[in-house]
Chains A and B, each alone.
Chain A
Amino acid sequence: MNIIDKILNSINNLPTLTTIYTQLSEAIDDEYASNQRISQLISSDQASSFKILKVANSPLFGIQRKIESINQALLFLGHAEVKNILSTLSIVKQFNTRGDSHGLRPVDLWAHSIGVGIISRNLALISGQKKVDNYFLAGVLHDIGKLIFLEFVPKEYMFAVEFAENENIPIKDAEKEILKIDHTQVGQLLAEKWKMPQYIQDVIQYHHSAQTPKGSSHLLSTVHISNIMARIMRLGFSGDNLVPQPNMMVWDEVEIEKGDLISLQEKIVNDFKNAVHTLLVD
């Protein structure tokens, strides 16, 4: 079996996201479902609801008061946000955060992903976006393809990381060279299997170029910039030693000023520490 088949097989065999996530998705999509029903659903999973509350209380969401129950979380953060938190938790649960692969460890990649999520959301907030629900999730998921590589073809992926380092080429190119498929393609396949919304699939597939065949979007551009910022800020490690040049076309779309980044960095670091604590420590 060649590597591509092995990877594609693995994606096919991956289970769907946790039951509570699927149930919640259905409940939230059902416009007649009451807050009470949704909160009951979440509360039925003690571990998840506790994590949700921890994330909901983290500075990332900037809720002034303390959120002490799922009901309050639904009230103050909204259904979509709670759903996204739960997606993030489910996906972290799905993949191993452990394991010590040489070159790129899952935990470093997670830290990077969370970092990108944090930066994306903060950029969205500062650029005055009204709907910021999806930025964190999109940022967290953008490199999900790499997680698949680490999970299912760790040895081959180690070669790819080493290859990138030795040849001084971007990891994406090294993946193509060694595995014949890169993380954006693999990630998109998984997102499709998990029935992620199209904009999430687009982010996963096009975050390097920030351009889909149909053009760009604020979300995609923001994740693109955030991905580069996370590397500069050394939040986690994505397997790439090279910091890529940003697509200059998308700066206008993101609508951030140079000073914004300076003023944001403290909050980003703080949010990052908090999110990493909550998401990666059992």
Chain B
Amino acid sequence: MENDLFKIFSHTSQGLPVFSSKDELIKSFLDCFKKITECRSVSLYLVDQNSFEMVLSGTEGENTPEKINNIFLELVENEVIAGLLNNPDETLNYTAGDFKFYLMSVKRNESVAGFFLFVYRYGDEPEPGKVLLLNHYCNYFSLQLINIDHIKNEIYTVDGKTSTETGKPPEIMQSVEQNILLNSLQEGILFVDKNTGKIIDVNEPATNLLKIKKEKVIGTSKDRYFLFMDKNIFRDEIITQDETLSIAADGTVFPVLYSSTVFNMYKTDYEVISFLDISERKSMEDLILQSRFHLEQQVEERTKELSITNEELRNQINERIKKEQENLILYLAIQQSPAHVILTNLEGKIEFVNNAFLKQTGYSFDEVVNQTPRILKSGDIKPEDYIQLWENIKSGKPWICEFRNKKKDGNLYWVSSQISPIVDSNGNIIKYLAIQEDISQRKNYEAELIDSKEKIEKAYHFKDALLANMSHEFRTPLISIIGCSDLLIEDLAEGEMFDMARAIQQGGNRLLRTLNNVLLLSDLESGSYNFEMVPKNVIPIVRTMFDKYSYIAASKNLNLLINVEENELIIQMNEFFFNKAIESIIDNAIKYMQVGTVVITIKKARLDGRDYGAIIVEDNGIGIPDQEKQIVFEAFRQAEEGHKRNYEGTGLGLTIAQKAISNMNGFIKLEDNYPLGSKFIIQLPLENNY
């Protein structure tokens, strides 16, 4: 109890004048109040509780004691005072006319001894924050009052004890009530000596907030407990109310609402600092702020999600559009395709056909939709083919076929049709697609081709018949002609008749030769001739031929030479045709020469890894021009044709020769160095090759 406020006040009031009269006291306090409240029109009255008489009064201006007394009595009548008596800790505000009253009970030993009554002009009342200070002053005032009473030997008991000392003010004045009042506040209160900045007293809440014992606070600097207060050093002003941070003794920092009031008492400046812990309020503010941030964060995230979804949606739409465009292009391609496209469902009902189809068949779209392709049926396809068709496409394979379709007007047209199933991503067949191509034109060509082939075959047939007849119908009379001319020549002497018979004989022989050649060629071509092959040495055969032509050559004054490089060249051959071939080549060589040499060479030649026997017949006759080399082997052709044809012969010799040699697996080659003569090479594979 030693450290209570009163002790501090009595300490601080040491050396201050002790008021001997109540008037002096009241005057001094009125000054003080005016300073605190900054009110121009303050009056202070002390009313005795028992008598309701004003025992003290300090009056300013127009507030006369009589006037105030009347108002007070009015308050009593209105039971305002009674209310205050029941709740002595409360203060009371009351407005009457231009005046405002502020009532506060003066307590003495737990009971109300009287009232302080402050009167202000309306609109001139002190700020609410200063009420607390007023409270302190009232307490001090009543203390002083008691003190004066004490001098007058009026003894009040304090804390159950009786002060025995009289005649001078007690050093320690205690009032439990005052103490309770100050300590029951929420605010911490510091009383500070303005000159030294040291704390001279604190209330209990202050020590609790600062977590420090009272005796440890006293004498320390107020700066220690606040992070910033009047630190605005550039301006010499005092911050009277602000939020700041308070520092507890353990170093914890907590936010406080801080207010400071400076007053002068007994010519000394004092500062009363009150500070209220606002941590709770601050943390509530933080909580609100935090939830706002949280909300904002969520909104942001949601917005982001939405924009992502939006983006996805847009992509999907774009994709869809792209796909639809692709589909459109595909549709147009199908629509404009020259092929007929028919799409059916699984039941075979037509769902779609393209323009080419409609144009070809003469149907309109509506006429074919929901029909089956049976409307096109021409009867070309047999029932068993249909079974094949369905088996194929049901097993997922395409079916390809050519058949005729019927148009709307009943006409038929040829198509090449491919029917295939369309499967979905799961492999299930969902539709059937038929793509048909109009092949009527092609079919027409085909028919024409077959037709002309038949005609050609007929012509061949006719030729064969002709040739077959030839031997009979031509040869028989020819033999008679030749036979008769032979007889005539034998019988006739030299003379005109003999010459005629001879011309008949020669013409007949030539005709017979030609006829034989034609028949031979025909046999070779038809393959009907019995082409028997035996191995033979070519050298003696060629020598015999050489001997035969040596005379003919000599009669034409030509040189015929033979040059044999081998002893033996065995060749699989048909001797008759070999002879024919050699004969026609040598014959040709001599026939077309007026002057010069024909050389026959027999040798071995190698070609493509095989051995050949080669018979080369070289002349230095007129030769064969390049452009005519091809035709010399054709039937009835000579290099020089038409009226220029100076040489006798059917033109069948080389044709027969080439056919014959080729039947013997050899070939005839014409090497020509026109106009210096020609060079025929017959090459036949040697026997030992087999």
Contact = CB atoms under 8 A, between A and B. Distances in A.
A234 B250 contact: no
A70 interface: yes
B244 to A, nearest CB: 7
B225 to A, nearest CB: 11
A266 B239 CA distance: 13
Interface string B116-148: 000000000000000000000000000000000
A186 B297 CA distance: 41
B253 A107 contact: yes
Contacts of A36: 304
A265 B252 contact: no
B293 interface: yes
B250 A100 contact: yes
Interface string A53-76: 110000000000000111100000
A233 B247 contact: no
B231 interface: yes
Contact of A280 (B245, B250, B300, B304): B245
Which of the listed residues B250, B254, B255, B296 has the most CB atoms from chain A within 10 Å of its own CB? B296
A71 B300 contact: yes
Which of the listed residues A68, A97, A266 has the most CB atoms from chain B within 10 Å of its own CB? A68
Interface string B243-259: 11101011111110000
Contact of A281 (B232, B253, B296): B253
B34 to A, nearest CB: 33
A234 B252 contact: no
B293 A281 contact: no
A269 B231 contact: yes
Contacts of B253: 97, 107, 280-281
Contacts of A262: 234
Contacts of A43: 297
Contacts of A118: none
A98 interface: yes
Contacts of B290: 50
A78 interface: no
Interface in A37-57: 43, 49-50, 53-54
B251 A233 contact: no
Contacts of A250: none
B251 A105 contact: yes
Contact of A234 (B233, B279, B289, B293): B233
A53 B254 CA distance: 20
B534 interface: no
B442 interface: no
A106 B286 CA distance: 25
A248 interface: no
A243 to B, nearest CB: 12
Interface stretch (A127-135, A198-206, A270-278): A270-278
B250 A70 contact: no
A201 B43 CA distance: 67
B66 to A, nearest CB: 53
Interface string A66-97: 00111100000000000000000000000011
B228 A53 contact: no
B255 A277 contact: yes
Given A277-B245, A281-B245, A235 B228 contact: yes
Interface string A144-187: 00000000000000000000000000000000000000000000
A96 B231 CA distance: 25
Given A262-B234, A280-B245, A68 B250 contact: no
A49 B245 CA distance: 23
A107 B228 contact: no
A69 B250 contact: no
B322 interface: no
A234 B231 contact: yes
Contacts of A107: 227, 247, 251, 253
Contact of A236 (B227, B233, B252, B255): B227
B250 A111 contact: no
Interface string B269-304: 000000000010010001001101100110010001
B251 A99 contact: yes
Query: What bracket does the count of chain B residues touching chain A fall in?
Result: 20 to 34
A276 B293 contact: no
B305 to A, nearest CB: 12
Nearest to A98: B251
Contacts of A1: none
Which of the listed residues B232, B253, B254, B255 has the most CB atoms from chain A within 10 Å of its own CB? B253
Given A50-B290, A68-B296, A97 B251 contact: yes
A265 to B, nearest CB: 5
B627 to A, nearest CB: 81
Given A54-B289, A236-B227, A69 B249 contact: no
Interface in B208-235: 227-228, 231-234
Contact of A68 (B232, B254, B293): B293
A99 B228 CA distance: 19
Contacts of B247: 105, 107-108
B247 to A, nearest CB: 5
A96 B41 CA distance: 54
Given A100-B251, A262-B234, A69 B227 contact: no
Contact of A50 (B227, B254, B279, B293): B293
Contacts of A105: 247, 251
Given A68-B296, A69-B296, A273-B244, A281 B251 contact: no
B323 to A, nearest CB: 32
A49 B297 CA distance: 11
Contact of B245 (A106, A232, A234, A276): A276
A98 B244 contact: no
A273 B293 CA distance: 22
Contacts of A69: 293, 296-297, 300
Contacts of A235: 228, 231
Interface in A214-262: 232-236, 262
7 contacts: A53-B289, A100-B251, A234-B231, A272-B228, A276-B245, A281-B253, A281-B255
Interface of A: 36, 43, 49-50, 53-54, 68-71, 96-100, 105-108, 111, 232-236, 262, 265-266, 269, 272-273, 276-277, 280-281
Top 7 A-B pairs ranked by shortest CB distance? A98-B251, A68-B296, A99-B251, A280-B253, A69-B296, A265-B234, A69-B297
Interface of B: 227-228, 231-234, 243-245, 247, 249-255, 279, 282, 286, 289-290, 292-293, 296-297, 300, 304
Given A107-B247, A273-B228, 13 more contacts: A69-B296, A71-B300, A100-B250, A105-B247, A111-B228, A235-B228, A265-B234, A269-B231, A277-B245, A280-B227, A280-B253, A281-B245, A281-B279
